[in-house]
Every structure is written in structure tokens, then in C-alpha cells.
Amino acid sequence: MNPQLKGAEKLAGTYLFDLATSAKALRLNRFLHGLTVAANRTLFKDDPDAAFEKAALSAEERTMVRELDWAALIRYGGSFFCLEKLGRVKGVSNPEMVAGFRGETLEQFLKTRNVPGAR
Amino acid sequence: MATILGGIGTSHVPTIGGAYDRSKQNDPDWAPLFRGYERVSEWLEVKKPNVLVFFYNDHASTFFFDHYPTFALGVSETYPIADEGLGPRAVPPLEGHAGLARHMADCLVNDEFDISVFQDLPIDHGVHSPLTMFWPPAPDWPGKIVPIEVNVLQHPVPTPMRCWKLGQAVRRAVLSYPENLKVVIVGTGGLSHQMNGERAGFNNEKWDMKFLDLIARDPKKLTAMRHADYIRLGGTEGAEEIMWLAMRGALSPRARKIHQNYYLPMTTAMAVALFEEPAAKTSSKKPRSARKASFRTRAARAGIQRRFQP
């Protein structure tokens, strides 16, 4: 184990993105990272199944992406920074994604913030 | 010879650039953020650096996990703006100082810092989100940058101590550049935030204040901490603070924090801190004082080695 991280595994609700996670979710994260290319975004918007097929996503991966199940995507090994690309393409803001990770609605999450309007 | 005028530590959360792009200066929800950067842009206006050296992280925009560099130095004359899912942000391509960057690559590798280099690759909000707050294009950028990418996404990420040492090596590299360039070092990221899991939305204002104090007064304490400590205290993404350590390592021990601002509106604690080198005071004068600055610089370097060599 990486001695720099020893102890961090005990933090509840925290998913460390390490090499094992990265390897497990490489295909999913490559698909998400690919959304930085306009042609891939167009394909995903016009024909999501064709985009999933091209990226060879598994049935589980397709369901999580289709349903924008942010909590499941993170648990599976999605990198937040790759998921961010999906958020932008689908018009979902970071506070909405964070609410999803916490199992809250956006309204519930915003109530916990200092300046809910700063979005 | 090149001189280092000071340093800037700043958050790089994309909403900072978003607030700038949407002209939120007078929006009460955003005004405290803009006000916090005013002192920094005024200082840059007076000091007029030629180059900002940026320790930043890419957000899986340009680099991907099939080959994610631990440290990578940009050596281009220009960098396109990265497309992060909405098309590139409407700011001009970043201008790089290729001469200084190539010299830094030579120095770093010969100083046993075997850094990877990149050119002609796009750069994301890790650099330009805070940049428009203190060095906005009008319509062109006021000067050039040298970007140094640091992996803070995929563990193992470099240790806090290694980032500090990278900063020291960058200082040696910059100060040995023969051209009379004025350089400012920028470290980006943080402060406390976490963007995954049920703990997402975690902040720790008390730790953020302590970090802002230690980075100026006792950075060595921060180099002795482990990533697990940073994650516990500041959240998984708060660990980006190691890029502030690289910036601080590139300054002399006599650099002084002359300004800071802290604003925590939503998910990420947004902070900026400005550090000034004492030698910078004489840098605008003529050859004699330039020699003096060079002597001071050498003394400062020796000072670092005496004080911080293990």
C-alpha cells in the first residue's frame, strides 16, 4: 500500500482514485474523457447507444451513464474530472453532481452552503 | 539574469473563470471573490513580470490515465485552450516563453529532476480560471507563461516534499536564465474541497486558515505531512495544495506574504495569497542595483540550502 495514503481508507464516503481503480474503470473514463472531442459529443447526443457501442461500454456502465447515476459512477471508479465532462454535456452543474454523490437533491445540498446563489 | 519577484497561491476552481466570463464583479454573491484578487492584479500592474511560471494540474482534459504524467513541463510558444466538454473557453490561446521553458528543462534534468516535457497541447482551467482574475487579456495576454503540470488526480501523486523540492529546482533553473526576465511563480489548487463520495462538499475553514499561515511562516511543516493528512484535513481534492508548496519552494525563505483572501461560497474554498521577494524592490533600477539583486539572489539560494537541506 502507498504509505502516503495509509489511514485515508478509513474516511467514510471517500473514494481514492488509485491505479487499481483507474485500471478497473479505464474504459468508462476513456469514454467520458472522449467527450472533450466535439464529434464524440455529437454522436453521444444523437445516438447514445452508438456512442456506448463505439466505446465498448458494459451494460452496467451504459446504465449508469444513461441514468446519470453520479453516486454509482463514483463508486464504480469514475474519475470526478472525467464525470465533469459528462456533466457539462448533459447540462448538469457541479453542485448538482455533488448533491448526487451525497444522496441529496440540489435544494437539500444548497441549504448546507454559505452562498447558495454563487453558481 | 532572470529574477523572481514573488509568488501567487490561488484556487483554480472553474467557477472563478465562469464568474469572470459572466461579468459577476458587482453580483453580491461573487464580489468578495473579485475584491480579493484586486491587490494581486495591482501588484502585477506595478511589477510588470514578463513570465508567470504555473504549477497547475490538468483535469483529465489534455492528459488521460493511459499515460498520466507525474510532472510535465510545457515548452511551447503557444498553448490552445482545452475543450472541457462545452468547447474551448473564449479567451486567447496562452502564450508560452519557450526560451525559458527549454532552459528549465535542461536545468531540471541535469539537476536530477527528470521531468517530462510537452508542447502544442491544450491547457485547461487549472491555469486560465484564476489567470483572468489577475492577468486578464486586453485583448492579448499581458505576458507569457511556463506551465508545469502536476498529477494530483491519480495516486500515487508526488509527495508534498517532492513538490517542495521541485519548486527549489525550478528556482535554480529560473535564476540561471541569462536573459533579464522578471518572473512570478504561481501555485494553484485547493483549498479544502472534496468532489467524490458521500463526503463530497466537505470543507474545513480552520485547516484552510492554518494552511494559509503555515505556507508563509513555516512551509517545512507542510512538507512533512502525508497525503492522508491533507485528505483528512482538506478533502481528497484539497490535496491539490501541494502545488502551493512547489510555488513556495521556488521562493526564498525571506519572501513575505503581503495579501490574502478567502471565500467559501459553495463547494470549494477559494483562496488567493500574494508573496513578495525583498530583492524585487531594487529590480526596477539600473545595472548597479541589478548586480546587487543578483548577489542577494545568490545569498537567498544559499540561505535555502542551509535552512532546508535534510
For chain A, which domains are there? 17-92 (1.10.700.10)
How would DSSP label each residue in A31-99?
HHHGGGSHHHHHHHHH-HHHHHHHTT--HHHHHHHHTT-HHHHHHHT--HHHHHHHHHHHT--HHHHHH
Is B223 domain-assigned?
A: yes
Q: A81 vs B83: CB contact, 8 Å cut-off?
A: no
Q: Is residue B126 part of a domain?
A: yes
Q: Is residue B216 part of a domain?
A: yes
Residue B207 forms part of a structural domain:
yes
Q: Classify residue B159: in a domain, yes or no.
A: yes
Number of domains chain B is built from: 1
Which pLDDT belongs to residue B307? 41
Q: Note the pLDDT tens digit of each residue in B147-165.
A: 999 999 999 999 999 999 9
Contact between A84 and A108 (Cβ < 8 Å): no
* Closest by Cβ to B231, choosing from A3, A11, A26: A11
Interface pTM (ipTM) of the complex? 0.96
d(CA B180, CA B144): 14
A54-57 long-range contacts (CB < 8 A, ≥24 apart) are: A55/A27, A55/A30, A55/A31, A56/A27, A57/A27, A57/A28, A57/A31
User: Are B127 and B92 spatial neighbours (Cβ–Cβ below 8 Å)?
Assistant: no
Residue B69 lies in a domain: yes
Residues of A in contact with B196 (CB under 8 A): 14-15, 17, 74, 80, 101
B308 pLDDT band, cuts 50/70/90, is very low
Residues of A in Cβ contact (< 8 Å) with B161? none
A16's grid cell: 481514492
B65 CB neighbours in chain A (<8 A) are 22, 26, 29-30, 79
- For chain A, report the end-to-end CA distance as a whole number of angstroms: 38
pLDDT at B303: 44
- Is the Cβ pair A16, B155 closer than 8 Å? yes
Tell me if B79 sits within 8 A of B123, measured CB to CB: yes
Displacement of CA B271 from its chain's centroid (Å): 12
CATH number for position B58:
3.40.830.10
Residue B259 belongs to domain spanning: 3-276
pLDDT digits (tens, 9 = 90+) for B254-266: 999 999 999 999 9
- The pTM of the full predicted model, rounded to 2 decimals, is 0.92
Is B129 inside a domain boundary?
A: yes
> Is B76 within a domain?
yes
